[in-house]
């Protein structure tokens, strides 16, 4: 015997197919997203310079548009913005990276001393808490850690030969990426016109999704770059003024920590406190000053910078952010983590703009 619930379910299924399948705009959007995702996922290794150039050109386009709104013609605006971009790139390559790499080498050279100091502190645990852990167990743990560090060092040495190819590839990218960024900015209308001719004619839904995503992702990514710069600069000035070792390296960690929401701030705490502990000890005033300074910087970032820079960004639930970080980070590594929130914004915009079933049909389900 067929019940009222069965008829409601059949009506829901029928309405679902009638509403979605004939909708050419929804089909076009699904095809664009599907084909784009497959191409990016399968060709990301080969086309990484192109993808990086598109992202950088997209970020710089906002500055070009601001210059145009000040009555500057587009071509001079492109030259002006691109000159600033090359200046920043030169600073990163010839000033920031040598300092960071030099401090990283110094930190690696002090790892045996750090391990030795940590081992002394850990060996005190069986004396202080004999009921929880024994000395033999501590020695087993320390031996396992030393073996793991030795294995990691051997892997680094064995991969040094392959690093030559990586250096050559990086040099090629450093030439190609800025060149493509310039032409993406200069010939934006020409390239977009060529690309649009391959899209379906019935693309109103796709345009509506893109307009929402363009505004929100642009605000988020540009704000994130500003946040990284401010946090790096403030951290470097603070740590160098207080005499903390590896100030530039730790400041870079501080800046990059905001790339991964929630997780990054937690991870960067350990190297900052570890360096301060090795340098001064946990009972010194300097260590407490570093803890206070670090806490103040994180508080300013969360209370002032984030609301100020991302007031127009989409509001995503923390669970959605964490799931996006895990999913896209697993697909594309660091860049997947960096663009996790913009990609989650894209998903949300698609779900928001997607054709929906009438409320009456949904009510009949229950």
Residue 342 phi/psi, 5-degree rounding, is -60, -40
* pLDDT score of 361: 41
Place of tokens 């995702």: 37
- Residue 121, domain member (yes or no): no
Q: Which residue has the higher pLDDT, 243 or 59?
A: 243
Number of domains composing the chain: 1
Cα distance between the two ends of the chain? 19
Distances 25 to 19, 32, 211, 348 between C-alpha atoms, Å: 11, 11, 15, 17
Please compute, for residue 6, the number of CA atoms within 13 A of its CA located in the half-sphere on the CB side: 3
Nearest to 258 by CA among 233, 224, 289, 288: 224
- Residue 135, domain member (yes or no): no
Mean pLDDT rounded to a whole number for the chain: 76
Alpha helices (runs of H) in the chain, residue ranges in sequence order: 4-20, 24-43, 48-69, 74-91, 97-109, 111-123, 125-128, 135-158, 163-186, 188-196, 204-241, 247-257, 263-280, 285-300, 306-309, 318-338, 340-353, 359-365
* pLDDT score of 156: 57
Q: pLDDT band at 159, cuts 50/70/90?
A: low
**Quick one: DSSP state of residue 245?**
T
Distances 91 to 70, 96, 157, 299, 361 between C-alpha atoms, Å: 27, 6, 29, 28, 59
- Residue 22, domain member (yes or no): yes
Q: Which residue has the higher pLDDT, 111 or 245?
A: 245
Per-residue pLDDT tens for 195-236?
A: 777 776 766 777 777 777 777 777 777 778 888 899 999 999
* pLDDT score of 166: 63
Per-residue pLDDT tens for 163-206?
A: 555 676 777 778 888 999 999 999 888 888 887 777 767 667 77
Domain interval for residue 364: 1-43+202-366
Per-residue pLDDT tens for 104-149?
A: 888 877 777 777 777 777 777 777 777 777 777 777 777 777 777 6
- Residue 158, domain member (yes or no): no
- Residue 136, domain member (yes or no): no
pLDDT at 362 over 50: no
Per-residue pLDDT tens for 264-279?
A: 777 888 889 888 888 8
**Dihedral Cα 327, 329, 333, 339, nearest 10 deg:** 120
pLDDT at 8 over 90: no
* pLDDT score of 353: 64
Q: Of 56-65, 279-288, 342-351, which gets the smallest average pLDDT?
A: 342-351
- Residue 309, domain member (yes or no): yes
- Residue 108, domain member (yes or no): no
Per-residue pLDDT tens for 271-300?
A: 898 888 888 887 888 999 999 999 999 888
pLDDT at 360 over 60: no
Q: pLDDT band at 62, cuts 50/70/90?
A: confident
């Amino acid at each position: 015997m067929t019940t009222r619930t069965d008829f409601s379910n059949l009506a829901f299924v029928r309405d679902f197919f009638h509403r979605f399948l004939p909708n050419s705009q929804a089909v076009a959007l699904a095809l664009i997203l599907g084909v784009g995702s497959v191409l990016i996922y399968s060709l990301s290794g080969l086309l990484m310079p192109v993808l990086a150039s598109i992202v950088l050109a997209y970020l710089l386009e906002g500055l070009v548009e601001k210059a145009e709104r000040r009555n500057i013609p587009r071509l001079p605006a492109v030259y002006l913005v691109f000159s600033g971009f090359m200046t920043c790139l030169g600073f990163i390559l010839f000033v920031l990276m040598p300092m960071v790499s030099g401090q990283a080498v110094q930190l690696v050279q002090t790892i045996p001393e750090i391990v030795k100091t940590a081992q002394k502190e850990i060996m005190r645990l069986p004396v202080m808490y004999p009921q929880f852990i024994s000395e033999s167990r501590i020695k087993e743990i320390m031996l396992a850690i030393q073996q793991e560090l030795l294995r990691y060092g051997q892997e680094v040495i064995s991969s040094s030969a392959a690093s030559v190819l990586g250096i050559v590839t990086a040099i090629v990218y450093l030439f190609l990426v800025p060149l493509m960024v310039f032409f993406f900015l200069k010939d934006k209308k020409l390239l977009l016109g060529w690309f649009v001719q391959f899209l379906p004619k019935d693309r109103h839904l796709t345009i509506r999704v893109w307009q929402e995503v363009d505004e929100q992702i642009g605000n988020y990514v540009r704000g994130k770059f500003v946040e990284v710069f401010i946090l790096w600069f403030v951290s470097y000035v603070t740590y160098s003024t207080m005499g903390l070792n590896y100030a530039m390296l730790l400041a870079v960690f501080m800046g990059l920590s905001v790339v991964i929401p929630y997780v990054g701030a937690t991870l960067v705490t350990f190297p900052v406190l570890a360096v301060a502990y090795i340098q001064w000890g946990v009972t010194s005033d300097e260590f407490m000053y570093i803890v206070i300074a670090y806490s103040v910087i994180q508080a300013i970032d969360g209370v002032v910078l984030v609301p100020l820079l991302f007031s127009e960004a989409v509001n995503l639930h923390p669970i959605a952010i964490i799931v996006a970080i895990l999913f896209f980070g697993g697909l594309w590594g660091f860049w997947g983590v960096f663009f996790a929130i913009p990609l989650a914004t894209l998903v949300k915009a698609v779900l928001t703009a997607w054709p929906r079933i009438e409320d009456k049909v949904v009510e009949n389900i229950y």
